[in-house]
Amino acid sequence: MATAARSYSRRDTILLVGCVILALLAQVLPERTRDPLAATLRHTVLAPLVALQRDAELTHRAWLTREDRVAARDSVVLRSMALDAVRQDNDHLRALLGLGARLQWGFVPAEVLQGRGVGEEYTVALSAGSRAGVREFSPVIAPGGLVGMVKTVDPTMSIAIVWSHPDFRVSAMSADGSAFGIVAAHGSAEPERYLLEMRGVPVRTLLKPGTLIVSSGLGSTFPQGIPVGTVLGEMKTSELWARTYLLRPAVLPSDMTSVMVLRPERVASGVNGVWQTGIHVDSAVKTVVAAGEALERAAHAAAQADSVRMDSLRALRADSASRQDSVVHR
């Protein structure tokens, strides 16, 4: 091994010395001889080395271009992510402004000051207090509907419980007024933790999935017509005289960033027309449909009576004709 290494080292030295001698000779050669010789060497002996150098430069340039493209792509992705968040905030604020325009008076806008951490999943801190007109048991709403209720009030801030709180209750009804019940937190494990239950619905009343549930106005806390949730389906319980339905909340936890607190005078006045729940429209439609069905039944009965009368007349005419024939033959 040592002999082979010494032979390779001696060969490399000889090649180096030869290259140096050739370089010196190329420097002293005349230009008309040197240039053709250099071109011949570049196209023959040095061609692989030139190709390797060109490939190395292209690879280096491609690598730098790739890094620039990756950086540009990452910046575009970050901007798009920030743009999505800004767009969501903008949509939420627009909806909040629309809610304020429909309410017109009797409300206090507030920001959620802190997120809900461990032990605070059911409460939110609001940036408005008694100085702004917030009172205990004031309803907290959002563009989507009901958020919760103020629990404690300080001069500059307040604490509210949201609909997922174990003690939260609201008297509710279907949007058409056909079913009433009490809505409370579902209180189950994941993934049904953030759902609601509508309890105490009469057993004779059936609610289809997608039915809108709103506050009924019974009691003095929540006015009538605030969206609470939509029906997902019926829950199986041991109660034989009442039904329980599972609801999807109208306001999700991710939407609890900017809210409004209703003043007591606004609660007393009501929130009719703020949310298009369709209570009066559905009632009118049902009345029209019922009237149309009654008219259809009456028309059908009249047609049946006319048909019976025509059959009787045909039978009488046939009987009279047969009797006349019998008299003529006699």
| Residues 137 and 193 reside in one and the same domain | yes
Q: Are residues 248 and 157 in the same domain?
A: yes
User: Are 83 and 201 in a shared domain?
Assistant: no
Establish if 168 belongs to a structural domain.
yes
64: left (phi over 0), alpha (psi -120 to 50) or beta: alpha
Q: Same structural domain for residues 114 and 215?
A: yes
pTM here?
0.60
Mean pLDDT over residues 200-218, rounded? 91
Domain housing 71: 49-104
Band the pLDDT of 289: cuts 50, 70, 90. Answer: very low
CA angle 275, 164, 169 (to 5 degrees): 70
What is the CATH number for 122?
A: 2.40.10.350
Does residue 307 sit within a domain? no
Residues 6+ apart with CB under 8 A from 34: 26
In a domain, 282, yes or no: no
Asked if 113 and 154 count as a contact pair (C-beta separation under 8 A), the reply is: no
Mean pLDDT value across residues 38-61 = 76
Residues 214 and 254 in one domain: yes
> Of the candidates 104, 129, 148, which is a domain's last residue?
104
Rounded Cα distance between 19 and 23, Å, is 6
Q: How confident is the model at residue 281 (pLDDT cuts 50, 70, 90)?
A: very low
Both 118 and 83 in a single domain? no
Distances (CA, A) of 46 to 26, 28, 201, 277: 15, 20, 92, 85
State the average pLDDT for the chain. Answer: 78
Ramachandran sector of residue 147 (left: φ over 0; alpha: ψ -120 to 50; beta: rest): alpha
Residues 6+ positions from 100 with CB-CB distance below 8 Å: 107, 109, 260
Of the three residues 217, 249, 270, the one that is the final residue of a domain is 270
The model's pLDDT over 293-305, given as tens digits with 9 standing for 90+, comes to: 444 454 455 555 5
- Kindly give the pairing relationship between strand 158-162 and strand 145-153: antiparallel
Residues 84 and 232 in one domain: no
Q: Is 31 buried (19+), middle (13-18) or exposed (0-12) by CB count in 10 A? A: exposed
Are both 113 and 201 inside the same structural domain?
yes
Q: How many percent of the chain have pLDDT more than 70? A: 75
Considering the domain architecture, whether residues 87 and 132 belong to the same structural domain is answered as: no
Report yes or no on 135 lying in a domain. yes
Say how far apart CA 252 and CA 148 lie, in whole Å: 12
Count each helix (H run) and each strand (E run) in the chain, helices first.
Answer: 5, 12
Structural domain total, the chain: 2
